[in-house]
Structure 1
């Protein structure tokens, strides 16, 4: 049982893991205090575990159907994440998260008119309130 793992997916995971590793290294170099690592360290660990699960699941999958040509979708999602990171400090965490999640759902195949924005709104609200309670300093938000 051998699986297929598209090169575009491997590149996307590699870039995401490399950036995550750099951010974790940078945070550890700056300070090892809990306030500095409360989000970075768990997020890096979670990303590593998720990447491993994606690779294992892709390699265990049967070769019955050809792998989809998802390079364009991967690149759009990666570009969207870059825009999201930029928007965090310009329009606020709440609006940037809402737009990114909504766009991600649409790019991933969500075709309903009301489910993507509703899910994005609920997810953004939970994330802003959750992170807001964790951070010892205020987050830039536009609406919430």
Structure 2
């Protein structure tokens, strides 16, 4: 057994995120036998991901603030501290803060067979998509 080396906090790239978002890797696979990926992700107000999907799905456990998760059908789910949301493999989605608040979550996923497809990044989320304009609000996560 060993203590894993710490990886410095990084600001996420603007090609994949809008606003200020930082990531602290917690678990990073070192060889082909390891698949677990865990990171603490912190979003400043207005911060959000671009559209993306994960080869093997993703769990996000909100630790502070209020998160928003959006789907291609226009549904937006608000997730509160202590709640965990699951996104199935291949489902396009985005995550963000609710308006005006900071938010932190733990992102938990399994690496894909091809590391380049673990997360597939797509276009940026529009303001209308983020704000759910013209789309009836979804019920809060249970």
Question: Given the two structures, how large is their TM-score scaled by the length of structure 1?
Answer: 0.24
TM-score (norm 2): 0.24
> If you compute each CA radius of gyration, which structure gives the higher value, 1 or 2?
1
